[in-house]
């Protein structure tokens, strides 16, 4: 059966753009322009994904998300709105699958929609623990799709930064969170990673605490950061010998994107700093 998608927005131009972006042979897309119409559509036919922006009535945004979340089965909802950290936090709390501010980034939104259609048991994978613009903390289930979603939420929280700085922070955050999920949590969905984003006047700090036993930085021959000077790709060979997926560049890349990066003594917590001035 084809996937059933519902696009909700007051602007016909947004519908046209999202229809072109999301249309595939295995998808059927319907459209609604206000919240009441969207709820009627969703109650009549279960939806595999809802992409919702501004509506013509008062039922929009987080309120629409909560009403859709009461349906059984509840569809994953990607919210599209203004850049507003408060709205992002409200979306996480109400169990949005993801959040994007307008103008919408097409590639990222298309990828997130595909992830939503492929994900199962996603509703409790990302939980809000602390919710202030200065200190945001999330519990992230040890699943790669949950880590991808958490990265987008954190990117939206810092979307007011200069674009280059925002993308540096998001890329470093993603690499360290993926390491925490894969190596600290061993991709065990019973475990969680705690991530915190702290925003001061002069610096942004990210803290990642995984549930693992930790590691020693000097005992990572499969990571690019420990390649010998005369063999810059040695870790690639070691990963192939061990049957590990290609990679191993995460720590090295993250360190190059931020100003400071510090691990605790056990190696199961890491903090990085990006200076803003």
Q: Are residues 5 and 93 in the same domain?
A: yes
Final residue belonging to a domain, choices 98, 122, 146: 122
Q: Are residues 97 and 47 in the same domain?
A: yes
Q: Are residues 107 and 194 in the same domain?
A: no
- The whole-angstrom separation of Cα 48 and Cα 60 is 19
CA distances from 241 to 81, 216, 238, 244, 247 (A): 47, 21, 5, 8, 13
CA atoms within 13 A on the CB side of 21: 19
Q: Are residues 158 and 113 in the same domain?
A: no
Q: Are residues 197 and 207 in the same domain?
A: yes
φ, ψ (nearest 5 deg) of residue 194: -100, 125
Final residue belonging to a domain, choices 93, 122, 151: 122
Beta-strand runs (E) in the chain: 3-8, 27-32, 49-52, 77-81, 98-101, 126-131, 135-141, 192-199, 203-209, 260-263, 269-275
* Residues 24-79: tens digit of each pLDDT: 999 999 999 999 999 999 999 999 999 999 999 888 889 999 999 999 889 999 99
Mean pLDDT over the full length of the chain: 89
Q: Are residues 103 and 6 in the same domain?
A: yes
Final residue belonging to a domain, choices 122, 150, 177: 122
Q: Are residues 133 and 247 in the same domain?
A: yes
CA distances from 155 to 1, 85, 152 (A): 34, 10, 5
Q: Provide the CATH number for the domain around residue 104.
A: 3.40.50.2300
Is the pLDDT at 111 greater than 50, yes or no?
yes
The range of the structural domain enclosing residue 27 comes to 1-122
Around Cβ 82, how many Cβ atoms within 10 Å? 11
Is the pLDDT at 235 greater than 50, yes or no?
no
DSSP 123: T
User: If DSSP codes are grouped into helix, strand and coil, which group holds residue 15?
Assistant: helix
Q: Are residues 143 and 261 in the same domain?
A: yes
Q: Provide the CATH number for the domain around residue 136.
A: 3.30.565.10
Q: Are residues 132 and 228 in the same domain?
A: yes
Q: At how many degrees (to 10) do helices 12-22 and 106-118 cross?
A: 60
- In terms of Cα–Cα distance, which of 91, 98, 97, 194 is closest to 141? 194
* Residues 128-177: tens digit of each pLDDT: 999 888 999 999 999 999 999 999 999 999 999 999 999 999 999 999 99
Q: What is the pTM of this model?
A: 0.87
Q: Are residues 101 and 133 in the same domain?
A: no
As beta bridge partners, residue 8 has 32, 52
């Amino acid at each position: 059966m084809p996937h059933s998608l519902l696009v909700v927005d007051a602007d016909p131009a947004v519908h046209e753009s999202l229809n072109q972006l999301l249309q595939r042979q295995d998808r059927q897309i319907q459209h609604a322009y206000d919240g009441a119409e969207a709820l009627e559509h969703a109650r009549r036919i279960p939806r595999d994904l809802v992409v919702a922006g501004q509506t013509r009535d008062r039922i929009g945004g987080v309120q629409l998300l909560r009403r859709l979340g009461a349906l059984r089965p509840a569809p994953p909802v990607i919210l599209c709105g203004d850049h507003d950290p408060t709205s992002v936090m409200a979306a996480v709390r109400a169990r949005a699958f993801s959040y994007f501010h307008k103008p919408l980034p097409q590639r990222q939104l298309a990828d997130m929609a595909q992830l939503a259609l492929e994900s199962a048991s996603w509703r409790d994978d990302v939980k809000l623990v602390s919710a202030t613009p200065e200190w945001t903390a999330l519990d992230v289930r040890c699943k790669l799709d949950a880590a991808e979603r958490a990265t987008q939420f954190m990117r939206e929280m810092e979307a007011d930064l200069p674009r280059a700085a925002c993308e540096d922070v998001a890329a470093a955050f993603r690499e360290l969170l993926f390491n925490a999920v894969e190596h600290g949590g061993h991709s065990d969905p019973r475990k969680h990673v705690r991530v915190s984003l702290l925003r001061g006047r002069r610096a942004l700090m990210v803290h990642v605490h995984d549930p693992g036993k930790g590691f020693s930085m000097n005992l990572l021959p499969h990571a690019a950061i420990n390649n010998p000077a005369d063999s810059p790709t040695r870790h690639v060979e070691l990963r192939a010998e061990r049957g590990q997926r290609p990679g191993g560049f995460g720590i090295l890349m993250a360190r190059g994107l931020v100003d400071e990066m510090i691990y605790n003594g056990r190696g199961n917590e890491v903090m990085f700093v990006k200076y803003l001035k």
